[in-house]
Structure 1
Amino acid sequence: MIPTRFRLYWQKYKTSLVYTALLSLAAAGFWALAAAVTARVVNAVFLEGRNFMETAPSILVLFLCLCCSQLVSYWQNIRQDKLAVRVITTVRHQLHTAGLRKTAADNDTTLLQLSCDACELLAEDFRSILPLLLGLIIGLPFYLLLFAFTDYLSALICLATLPIAPILLYLLSGITKKRSAAAWENMQSLTQGFYELLQTLPLLKLFAQEQAHRESARQLISNFAAAALGALRLAFLSTFVLELITTLSIALVAVVIGLRLLEGRLAFSTAFFILLLLPEFYRPLRQSGAVFHTLMNVNTAAAEIETYLAAADAPPALSGHKASLQVPPAIRLANITFTYPERNSPTLQNLNLTFPAGQITLLTGNSGCGKSTLLDILACLQPPDSGTIYLNDQCLLTMHPDSQQKLIAYAPQTPHLYQGSLQENLLLLQQAPPERCHQALRLAQLTEWFSTLPQGLDTPLGAGGQPLSQGQLKRLGLARLILQNSPIMLLDEPTSGLDRQLEEKIIRTLSVLAKQRTLIINSHHPALFELADNIIDLNDYLPKEE
């Protein structure tokens, strides 16, 4: 059965799929022509006794047909690889966009597995499943028509043997689907187990428990290997049975052709032509055994991706919107309490604060008093244990994630550098013209550094790319903030690690950004105290020890 997702591919990549189908038909045509010329040359040389000079034109045509067939197949493989890359890129983009809607507290290892393993499996749609489907939909009817016009009896035998393979695959589909789902579930358990093991490794070594968890990790690997081998064993069995069926079918047609050839009821060139095309006719059926196992794995991976995207796109249980919200809004915290999972005492407890609209509020206090944690909560990266955040009179926590992202921009203390171009690192899946990127770099005081880049906005950053100092990375985070252009901006230590002259320039940029925006800055630098309209010392709000 053709997967339903191919209908989505058809809508989005209609032209490319039609072009690939035409290439498949052309390859089949060249191969059939090569078989016809081969049969003619063999008949002329061995039965009619013609010499090389008489058959040279036919041999030249045969050579050209084989070259054209290989070139068309090569170009078809390139097109399929390009389609696979485009699909992987699109799906990963959707997954990462959906992942951004989740909170940092989710510890979502599923996103990592789907982005790597599942997306690579999804590429098999174009690398192995699509060629098989084209062979079944285009190749089989094409060769069957050739057989019908050449020798109707051989065509009838081929037509009679065709349903055997689909019936066998249908009988195996239920078992293979269960085995593939079991292997996928074990892979998820293995990924989650290793993630937890790496997260808690220092603690395990501290309490001398690494040996016990080594055994549990070994058991996870054993479970996954058993499930994967069970699915592979079934795939090998189905492949063997299909190979046997197709071999017997070819043998049956060959025996009938041989008997008729001996009786003089069939010409040698016709018989040889059919025998040359029989392996190509049955090739999609032979391949379906191996590809069928891949199809089950791809179906399971695609179902996991669809479930993840559907869950991310689903509206939250509580409704909220920003349609009538006056911007820039005032922010009010009502009884906010937050405790990290690995701690017993709360970092923030019954916190009640107000950040006036259109003003700069400076958060200060000793290290560990919860300044960065509070910014994470305001940015909706960490959900509070209890309490509510209001933007004017609307609850921030019940708003749709898209509304939250449009309202709030956050520059963390250490911005993450992604492996990609400078423009991709600035926009982070947004759309903006290069002129806005240049303006953001100028306001973030990165113009001098940008002028030294060899490829401008296309300069690669991250692993293997252009290196950045901590100060440059911090200013890159500020440039991202500028490009988001949100009415609420949160900045965590925006001037730390900068010299005094550069700090003064960044402060001037912040004063420009503050117009018609609500700015909340976490810092203990004296220069920012003069910029702030309000100063909140979180030391005064620390949880009281019992």
Structure 2
Amino acid sequence: MLASPTARPAPPAGIGSTLRRLWPLLRPHRRRLAAGGVCILVFVLCWPLLAWLAGRLIPAIGAGNVVVTLQTILAALAVFVVQKAAQFGQDTLLAAPALHVSQALRHELFARLQRLDFNALEKLSAGDLTYRLTEDADRVGEVIYKTIQDTTPSALQLLAVLGYMVWLDGTLALATLLLAPVVALLVSGFGARVMGAAERSQQQVSELASLLGEAIAGLPLVRAFAAEPWLQERFDREIALHRRARYRTLRLLALQHPVVGLLEAAGILAVLLIGAWRIQSGDLNSQGFSSYVAALLMLIDPIAHLTTNFNEFQQGQASLQRLRAIELEPVETPDRADAPPLGPVKGALVLEDVSFAYSPGQPVLHRVDLRVHPGEVVALVGPSGAGKSTLFSLLLRFNACQQGRVLLDGHDLADLRSRDLRRAVALVPQQSSIFSGSVAEAIAFGREASPEAIREAARIANADGFVQNLPQGYASRIEERGSNFSGGQLQRLAIARAVLGNPAVLLLDEATSALDAEAEEAVQSGLEAAMAGRTVLVIAHRLATVQNADRIVVLEAGRIVEEGSHNQLMAQAGRYRDLCERQFIHLES
């Protein structure tokens, strides 16, 4: 996919909608979450107990009472052991659900990506989609982990310690709580701005990833045109935009920490002053105040964690919205629930009054009628934009015609299961897209096939000879984008992949146009063997390659303007003859 506008933005999501979206992914892990919740409760309840022990310890040290000091220290040590064991339990128990959420999100979104409507898919950027399914999915998983492993314990610790402080001295606790709304407003305000900055930063990373994908694939072309300075300038511009967007996010975070920290320090100093007044008035003793101060200090850490995690949650919200945008894209029309099995296929194709438009009012095919008999070889020719590739997309049900119908052996394609249809109709594309892996895996392409069947498909495609000469034969590895194979070899593997399932219909889309003469001859030999006994439709701009077709259909502006054999069409002196003469092809004598 080429870089193009990214998916439409999803509507803003709050914490409630986030949890509703993710809860189905967390539900299978209820037991582990419950066990982690017990560990969280033990961890949290240890804090008030430690504050109470601190209240005993400080006066004992001041009085030089070694026995009470030792007893209190041993008790505190035991509480710490229990607390840290509970913390280990919560961290390990809650890590797995968060990781499963990230994995499940990727699984769901990649599965949906494979079902997207082709019109929607072609508008999406490959680099942007890659970023969403990697970085954005990871960020959501991290936010879930921090929410259940850190944010929840911090919030409960805050409540437990505050409750203990209220029990110790309500007046002091009230003074402390007066600062809470101010801190909360500050954190919320910063969080909203951080979320906006994070969305812009992530968008810049997506655009940078898209440019990188294009640049890496097009480096040979860039060098051929000596366009390295132009590409470097584009790249530098994108990384500068990313740096500025990221810097705005970091600057907001950097400003938030000192502002909130200054408020916390002012609050602690105010509490110390009020505490001195309460002790002087006899309403609070030194042990109670020591416990209160210890509890107050225990609030600093959870407040800091909640502040940081809230910012990360906002960034996670931005990532989740970007993932949800894929969910809003339309998917291809699902199979009918009562779709019958296709059964054996002869390969008769009929297009009845077929019209199709990608955009309203701009038809690409207009009232096309075409009948192809089983075993017939039909070539589709015509200028670019005539509708040839669109006709192929209708035959594979990548798109559905808006008027008329397409039939295979008398069955309307709309009534068939897409998997059955695509097993009966195979495509050999113009640019052979071969996935990395072994040669055998590339030919099988996810289908169950014996080594003998794979080799037979390769033999038909005239590929068995060169594969056998590879160091590891069919186990030899194909690198990314097939960089260690020639174009002709890759195209013959693509033909073998197409014929492996013994399809009744073969669609050839300019299958030899990108090859040199020697490679074309080898591929053409494979194609002729693959075409034997099958219904074949061939798209060709090089008309010399289709002169032997049973029938040639000339398309122009979405309409069939001529059809017949090569000699018949040349004798008509119409559009086909004009195209041939431009390519220096003449009527055979």
Counterpart position of 2:128: 113
Q: Is the 8 A contact 2:57 2:72 kept in 1?
A: no
SS of residue matched to 2:507: strand
Provide closer, same or farther for how the CA distance between residues 183 and 364 of structure 1 changes in structure 2, counting only shifts above 3 A: closer
User: Which residue does the alignment assign to 2:559?
Assistant: none
Which structure has the bigger radius of gyration? 2
User: Could you tell me which of 562, 565, 578 is aligned with 1:544?
Assistant: 578
Paired residue for 1:361, among 366, 372, 377?
A: 377
1:50 paired with 2:50, answer: no
Alignment of 1:211-360 (within 5 A): 218-253=236-271, 263-264=284-285, 266-267=287-288, 270-271=291-292, 274-275=295-296, 277-288=298-309, 290-291=311-312, 295=314, 297-313=315-331, 328-332=347-351, 356-359=372-375
In the TM superposition, what whole-angstrom CA distance separates every residue of 1:457-484 from its partner, at most 9, and x where no partner exists?
A: 9x9975599x889899667656754787
1:418 alignment partner, SS class = coil
Q: How does 1:71-82 map to 2 (within 5 A)?
A: 71-72=88-89, 74-76=91-93, 78-79=95-96, 82=99
Question: Distance in 2 between the 1:426 and 1:71 partners?
Answer: 49
Q: Distance in 2 between matches of 1:425 and 1:277?
A: 60
Q: How does 1:126-205 map to 2 (within 5 A)?
A: 126-128=141-143, 130-132=145-147, 135-137=150-152, 139-149=154-164, 151-152=166-167, 156-157=173-174, 159-172=177-190, 175-183=193-201, 186=204
Once the two structures are TM-superposed, the CA of residue 311 in structure 1 deviates from its matched residue by 2.5
| Aligned residues of 2:348 and 2:374 also touching (Cα < 8 A) | yes
CA contact (8 A) 1:320 1:400 kept: yes
Cα distance in 1 between the residues matched to 2:76 and 2:269: 28
TM-score, normalized by length of structure 2? 0.60
Match of 2:114 among 97, 107, 112: 97
Q: Distance in 2 between matches of 1:127 and 1:21?
A: 19
SS in 2 for 1:13: helix
Deviation at 1:127, TM superposition (A): 1.0
Letter in 2 for 1:416: S
Unmatched tracts of structure 1, length 5 or more: 338-347, 524-528
Corresponding position of 1:13: 26
Q: Which residue of 2 aligns with 1:343?
A: none
Whole-Å separation in 2 of the counterparts to 1:544 and 1:256: 99
Instruction: Report the alpha carbon displacement of residue 124 of structure 1 after superposing the two structures with TM.
Output: 1.7
Q: Which whole-Å deviations, capped at 9, do the CAs of 1:386-442 have from their partners, x for residues lacking one? A: x999446999899999897577432446643435799986786x7x7xx56778646
Instruction: Give the % identical residues.
Output: 16
**Deviation per CA, 1:280-316, whole angstroms, max 9, x where unpaired?**
4323333145425xx2x44344334433442332769
Alpha-carbon displacement from aligned partner over 1:70-109 (angstroms, at most 9, x marks no partner): 523541574256235414532551353145x4269x7645
| Equivalent in the alignment of 1:4 | 17
- CA–CA distance in structure 2, aligned partners of residues 134 and 336 of structure 1: 57
Distance 1:414 1:218, change over 3 A: closer
Contact kept? 1:406, 1:486, Cα under 8 Å: yes
TM-score where L is the length of structure 1: 0.64
Specify whether residues 148 and 170 from structure 1 end up closer, same or farther in structure 2 by C-alpha distance, changes over 3 A only.
closer
Distance 2:332 2:211 in 1: 28
SS at match of 1:544: helix
Q: One-letter code of the match for 1:274?
A: A
Query: 1:208, 1:468 → 2: CA distance?
Result: 26
The match for 2:558 is none
For the residues of structure 1 that align with 2:236 and 2:143, how far apart are their CA atoms? 33
